[in-house]
Chain A
Amino acid sequence: MTKRPALLTLALWLIPLVFLAYFFYQPLIAIFRLVFSERFSQGWELFEWSQVSKPLTFTFLQAFLSTILTLVVGLPAAWLFAKFDFPGRKALRAISILPFILPTVVVAAAFNTLIGPQGWINQALMALFNLSTPPLKLLNSLPAILLAHVFYNTSIIIRIVSSSWSRLNPRLEHAARMLGASPWQAFTKVTLPLLLPSLLSASLLVFLFDFTSFGVVLMLGGPQFSTIEVEIYNQAMNRFNLPVAGLLSVIQLSITLLITLLQNRVNTPRYGKAALNPERSALSRPAKRWQKVFVIFMMITLILLFAVPVISLITRSFVTLEADRGQRGEVALGFTLRYYRELFQNRSGSIFYVPPIQAIRNSLLYSGVAILIAGALGTLTAYAMAQRARFNKFLEPLFMLPLGASAVTLGLGFLLIFNRPPWANSNFPLLIPIAHSLIALPFVVRTILPAIRGIPESLREASRSLGANPLQVLLKVDLPILLRSLLVSLVFVFTISLGEFGASSFLSNPHTPTIPVAIYRYISQPGALNYGQALAMSSLLLFVCGLGSLLIEKIRLPGEELF
C-alpha cells in the first residue's frame, strides 16, 4: 500500500471506534465499576469466596479434561486425514468439521435426544425391559458435558493439526529413518517437535472454547455443574446478584485474554519453507494390515461421534413415542410431522407463550440487522487496518478484544448499562443484533483483511490513471475482488447470529425470544410436544447452519481459514 493521509485512516476508524466504545467498552467498564465499587464499599471480609472458587475450579477441571479427551480423539483423526486416502474420506472429513459451525443449543439438543430421559437410548431400554422410568441418568452429568465438548472441538484439532501435518515434508521422517531412527523415534524426534506449534495452538484454542462453554454446560450439565459462564448467568438472571456475576466476568475475561495471548504467541510458523511438503499431496492408501485396521477403526469412531448425535436429533424430531403420552410399557414408534406443524400454531393462551414461528421471525430479523452492522463495520475496520498508519498498532488490539470477551459477559454488560431509556422496553431487543455483530465483527475483519491486503495497489493506480474516480475505483476494482470474502463473512455472521445463545439469553425478554432461546425454553419444559418442538427447531437450525457452512466452503478461496 502506498502512503495515505493519516486523516483518511482516522476517518475509516471513526464509526467502528464509536460503535465499539459505546456498545462494547462502555458495558465492559460498567462491569468493572460495579465489581470494584461494590468491593470498595463492602470490603472483602464478608465476601463468600466459594461463589467464585467453586465454578472456577470446575471450569478449569472440565476444560482440562475436555481438552485431553479432544486430543485423544482428534490426534489420530488428524493423522488419518493428513496421511490416508480411503473411500468416503471427503464425506467423513466434512461431517468431522461440521460441528464447529453448529449452535450450542443444537448440540445440546442433539445429545439430549441421544442420552436424555426422552432420548433414544433411554426410550429403547424402557421398551426393552418394560421400565416405567428412564434407567440411565446420563444427562446432567460431567460425562455429558465432556462428550459434547469432544463432539464440538475435535473439528478444531482436525482442521489445524491435520493441515499442518499434511504440509509437513514426509522426507524429514524418512531422513530420520535412514539415519537409524525407529518409526517411534522418527515421530518423537522429528515429526512431533515440528507439529508442536500447531498442536499447542490448537489445544489452547480447544481449551479456550471449553473454558468459555455456556450453552452446552447449561443444557447438559444441569444445576449441579456450573462453569463460570453458567454461574454468571445464574447469578445475574436467577439470583439477581449482579456484583458476583460481574466479578466472575472480570475473572473470566482476564483468563481468556491470557489464553488468547498465549495462543497467538505459539501460533507463529517458525520454519518457513524448510519443513514444507514439496509435493501437493502425500496421501496414500492404507497398505499394511495395521493401517487398514486403523483406518476402519477411526472411520467407525468418527461416524459414531459425529453422525450419530446429528442423526439422532433429526430422527427424533420426526418420531412420536407412545411412552410420551403416558401409556407406559407399550412403546410404539410413529412417524410424525406434528412437531414441525406445531411450530406455526399458537396453542397456549398464556401471555408469556410465544409461538415458535415468532422466534424464527425474530431470529431472521436480528440476523439481518447483524449482517448489516457487522458487514459495514467489518469492512470499514478492515480497510482502516489495511492502511499503513502508525497508530494502527494501537487500535488493532482494541478491535480483536471482543473475541476474548464471552457472549455472556457482553450480555451482562448490556443488562447493566442499557436497562434504562432509550434502550429499555421496546428498543431493548435491538441490542441482540448489536451484540451478535460485536461477536461476529472479528471474524468479518479476519476474513476481509487478507483479501484487501491482497489487492495490488498497482491495480488501483492503473484504474485511476485510466480516469476512474476514487468511488469508481472502489466499485470497479476493490468490490469485485472482495466479493467472495465479503460473502463468506456475511454468511458467517448469519450463522453466528442465528445460533448465538449466550448474549441472547440475557437480552431476549419473554416476548422476543430467538430460536436458540426458544429451544432452551421448550426443551426444559415437560411434555412431549414441547420436547418435539424444540427438536424440530433444532433440526431446522441445524439444516440452515449446515447449508451456511456448505456455502462458505463453496465460495471461500482455497487456503482461507476462519480462525
Chain B
Amino acid sequence: MLEVQNLTKDYENKPLLKGVSFEVAKGELVCLLGSSGSGKSTILRIIAGLEEPKSGAVLWQGRDLRDVPTHKRGFGLMFQDYALFPHKSVAQNIAFGLQMQGLNEEEISRRVKEALESIRMQSFAERPITELSGGEQQRVALARALAPSPRLLMLDEPLGALDHTLRTQLIQELRAILHQSQIPVIYVTHDREEAFGLADRLVILHDGVILQEGSPEELFEQPATAWVAEFLGLGNLVQSVVTQAEPLRIKTAFAELTLPNQSIQYSPGQECQLLLRPEDALINTQNSARENQFECIVRDSLFMGEYHQLELLCGETTLLARSQTPAEIGSKLTVSWPAEKIRVFPGS
C-alpha cells in the first residue's frame, strides 16, 4: 500500500538518509528499528508530509504523494511527546480529527465514546490533558490518532518516555488495539524488545541506509551484518582474521577455530567478525571438533532463573555463555561453540 522509494535527506549539511526504500503491506505492522539519530523520525515526517526529502518519493497505492499536503494524506501520526493539545480536554483532543472531517456532532460524540472505551478511559472524557499521567497521555494520543480512521498509522517511539514496567504492559495493549484496527502501521523504536514483541516485519536502519529487513525470526536467525547482530544483542562479537581458506580457519585473540561449509569464499589475511551466541555455548563437554574448544577463567556467574549466565575471560577477551549449572568464580573451565552455530561476518 505504502511504498517509500530511495529517500535521501540532509541534516545540517550532512547526509542523514542515503537512499531508504521499503514497503508496507495492507494490515501489516512494520517496525522501523535503529539507534537514536539514525533518521527514523525523519522518515516518518517525510511520509507524513511534514518534511520534504532531498530526493526520492512516497507512494500510496502507486500514487506519488509529492503534491498532497499533510492534512490531505489521511495518515495518522502519534508523536514521541504525544503533542496533545493542552487547551483541550481528553474528549476534545480525540474529537479534533473527526471535526476536521466535518462529521456531525452526534457522529463525533459516538466515535469519541468508542475511542475512549477502546483505551478504557471513559471516565476521563472531560479531564484536562495536564492532569494525566504519562501512560494515560500515551493512550489518549493513540486514541486521538486512531479516531479519524487513518489509512496508515505511524507511531514515533510511543513508549519512549515511559518506565519499563509500564512499557511491557502497554506493548500488550498496543498490540491488541493495533491488530484489531487492521490499519497498516509503521512503528518507530530503538528498543529491540518492543520491536520483537510487536512487529510483523522489522526494518533496520543504520547510518542512513537499511541494513536488513525481514520477520523477527529471520533477523534473529540470520542477521545480515555484525552491526545488526550487535544492535539486536544476539551475542558475543569477536574480532578475527582468516588464516586458511579451505577448510576455513579463523584466528581470534584467544583461539583458532575451524569453520567448514561456509557459503562465502574467504581468503587468508581477511578480517572478519564472529558471532558466538551465549545460548549455543557448550560448557565442559568434549566437542567433536576439538579445535573450537578453549580454556577460560570464570569471572562471574549470575543466576538468571532458567539458566546461569557466565562471564568468561578467554585470554583478554570477555565472552558471555549460558550454562545449566553455576560455576565457581575464579575456576577454570573449557568452553566450545559448535562450528555450524557460529556466524562469520566479513569486515571488521
A interface, CB within 8 angstroms of B: 169, 171-172, 174-183, 185-186, 189-190, 193-194, 270-272, 274-275, 278, 287
| B contact residues around A275 at 8 Å (CB) | 86-87
> A178's contact among B70, B81, B87, B130, by CB below 8 Å, is which?
B70
Main secondary structure of the interface of A (DSSP, over half): helix
* List of B residues within 8 angstroms of A179 by Cβ: 71, 76, 96-97, 100, 144-145, 148
Chain B residue nearest in CB terms to A185: B100
12 pairs of residues in contact across A and B, judged by CB atoms under 8 Å = A174-B48, A174-B70, A175-B77, A175-B84, A176-B96, A178-B145, A179-B71, A179-B100, A271-B130, A272-B130, A278-B81, A287-B52
Within 8 A of A (CB), among B77-103: 77, 79, 81, 83-87, 96-97, 100-101
B50 to chain A: which residues have CB within 8 Å?
174, 177-178
Contacts from B to A (Cβ < 8 Å)? 48-50, 52, 69-72, 74-77, 79, 81, 83-87, 96-97, 100-101, 129-130, 144-145, 148
Shortest beta-carbon distance from B309 to chain A in Å: 37
Instruction: Give A180's nearest chain B residue, CB to CB.
Output: B100
Bound-state Cα–Cα, A182 to B81, Å: 22
| B79 / chain A contacts, CB cutoff of 8 Å | 171, 174-175
B150's nearest neighbour on chain A, judged by CB, is A178
- Which residue of the partner chain B has the closest CB to A170? B83
A-B contacts counted at CB < 8 A amount to 81
Q: Residues of A contacting B70 with CB < 8 Å?
A: 174, 177-178
Name B48's closest neighbour in chain A (CB-CB). A178
C-alpha gap A179/B103 in the complex (Å): 13
CB distance from A509 to the nearest CB of B (A): 56
Bound Cα distance from A185 to B69, whole angstroms: 13
Which residue in chain A gives the minimum CB-CB distance to B81?
Answer: A278
Closest residue on chain B to residue A274 by CB atoms: B86
Selected contact of B130 from candidates A183, A193, A274, CB within 8 Å: A274
Q: Which 3 A-B pairs have the closest CB atoms?
A: A180-B100, A179-B97, A274-B86
A193 CA to B76 CA, complexed, in Å: 23
How far is it, in angstroms, between the C-alpha of A48 and the C-alpha of B72 when the chains are bound? Answer: 64
**Closest residue to A168 on the B side, CB-wise?**
B86
Q: Are A174 and B83 in contact (CB under 8 A)?
A: yes
Q: Chain A residues with Cβ under 8 A from B77's Cβ? A: 174-175, 178
Q: How far, in angstroms, from A562 to B284 measured CA to CA in the complex? A: 75
- Kindly state the separation between the CA atoms of A193 and B148 in the bound complex, as whole angstroms: 23
Q: Is B48 a contact partner of A190 (Cβ separation < 8 A)?
A: no
Q: Which of A178, A278, A287 has the most CB of B within 10 A?
A: A178
- Are B130 and A180 in contact, CB atoms less than 8 angstroms apart? no
**Chain B residue contacts of A169, Cβ below 8 A:** 81, 83
Q: What residues of chain A lie closer than 8 Å to B84, measured between beta carbons?
A: 175, 274
Q: A174-B79, A175-B77, A181-B96 are in contact. List 13 more A-B contacts (CB 8 A).
A: A172-B83, A174-B83, A175-B85, A175-B144, A177-B69, A177-B70, A180-B97, A181-B100, A185-B71, A270-B86, A274-B129, A274-B130, A278-B81
